[in-house]
Amino acid sequence: FPEMVSNPKLVLVQGTLNVVMKQNVTLSCLSEPGSPPVRYILFKHNQQVSALNRSDLSPALFTLTISSARDVGEYKCKAEYNNSSGGKYSNSLNFTLLEPISKPVLSSPTSQAKKGQNVSLSCFSENGSLPITYLFFKGTQNISPQKTMQKRKAAVIFLFINSLSDFGTYKCRANNSFPNITKYSNAFNFTLAEERSHSQPLIISLGLILLLLIIGLALAIPFFLIPLYKASK
């Protein structure tokens, strides 16, 4: 009597679980112990993808081409004797599609600053597989540790404007697990905010007072001239 088929093992023998478009991957499915012939069936989310028969103890090899987002997800294989009911299922392997990073956008709530002010910079890539790692630069020198974001939200750093040298050009860099792709943001510059003179409010106040005096005088003149005119008659 043949041995009962055991739970097969599904193993990745070519490629990676993090895949890019048009990539080929090969899966191996083997049930041990078990007596051939054995039928191996590959499933993706409980939907049959392919089936192979083995008359010896060699594994069934399934080669897949990742041609769209529909090809990623959870895969399992099933081992059963030919023309028999039942069977045993393997462990699962989950493929994730890697998406290249998009050009990040560097921005700040304010574009003007003055010495002694705290400011912030945020860097965000709208597209790209998570996690995304960001790095901030001033000129060619990085100014913060790497920030790895597990969720799709901006990385933020805070700066203290201490001198005129802090008004240079800032950029950020973004990359993820997609191979050999790194993107740099637009350049961002803080401009020096004009500091208002302490005498300026005083000058404005004096000007308003003078304007009110002129208007009051202009309104008062008719009241003095009309009685004088009538008295002269």
Retrieve residue 93's tokens. Answer: 């392997």
Q: Residue 42: inside a domain, yes or no?
A: yes
- Which one of 43, 62, 97 terminates a domain? 97
| Residue 84 confidence (pLDDT) | 66
Please, which residues have CB within 8 angstroms of residue 123's CB and are 6 or more apart in sequence?
104, 105, 106, 134, 136, 154, 155, 156, 172, 174, 185
112 strand-pairing partners: 191
Structure confidence at residue 175 as a pLDDT band (50, 70, 90) = very high
| Other beta carbons within 10 Å of 87 | 18
Percent of the chain with pLDDT over 70: 86
Shared domain check, 79 and 111: no
- Which one of 38, 72, 97 terminates a domain? 97
| Residue 37 confidence (pLDDT) | 82
Retrieve residue 217's tokens. Answer: 């005088």
Distance CA 60, CA 81 (A): 14
Residue bearing the bigger pLDDT, 25 or 165: 25
Q: Residue 217: inside a domain, yes or no?
A: no
| Residue 203 confidence (pLDDT) | 74
The domain of 87 spans 9-97
| Residue 1 confidence (pLDDT) | 43
- Which one of 69, 97, 125 terminates a domain? 97
Q: Residue 207: inside a domain, yes or no?
A: no
Structure confidence at residue 214 as a pLDDT band (50, 70, 90) = confident
| Residue 50 confidence (pLDDT) | 95
Least confident range of 27-41, 60-74, 207-221 = 207-221
Full-prediction pTM beyond 0.85?
Answer: no
Shared domain check, 54 and 116: no
Shared domain check, 115 and 52: no
pLDDT above 80 for 197: no
Shared domain check, 81 and 29: yes
Single-letter code of the amino acid located at 74 = E
Structural domains counted in the chain: 2
Q: Residue 33: inside a domain, yes or no?
A: yes
Averaged pLDDT score across all residues of the chain = 88
Residue bearing the bigger pLDDT, 197 or 52: 52
Retrieve residue 74's tokens. Answer: 């959870």
Structure confidence at residue 196 as a pLDDT band (50, 70, 90) = low
| Residue 115 confidence (pLDDT) | 87
Least confident range of 25-29, 85-89, 99-103, 166-170 = 85-89
Query: pLDDT of 117-131, one tens digit each?
Result: 999 999 999 999 999
Q: Residue 209: inside a domain, yes or no?
A: no
pLDDT above 90 for 232: no
Shared domain check, 114 and 37: no
Structure confidence at residue 189 as a pLDDT band (50, 70, 90) = very high
Shared domain check, 109 and 57: no
Distance CA 167, CA 113 (A): 9
Shared domain check, 129 and 71: no
pLDDT above 60 for 199: no
DSSP letter assigned to residue 57: S
Q: Residue 203: inside a domain, yes or no?
A: no
Tell me the CA distances in angstroms from 135 to 146, 160, 191, 222, one per residue in order.
5, 18, 22, 73
- Label residues 208-231 b or e (16+ Cβ within 10 Å = b): eeeeeeeeeeeeeeeeeeeeeeee
**Cβ–Cβ under 8 Å, residues 115 and 107:** no
Shared domain check, 92 and 117: no
- Report the CATH number at residue 23: 2.60.40.10
Query: pLDDT of 53-64, one tens digit each?
Result: 998 889 999 999
| Residue 216 confidence (pLDDT) | 76
E strands, the chain, are 9-14, 18-19, 23-30, 38-44, 47-54, 60-66, 73-81, 88-89, 93-97, 105-107, 112-113, 117-124, 132-138, 141-142, 147-149, 155-161, 169-175, 182-184, 188-189, 191-192
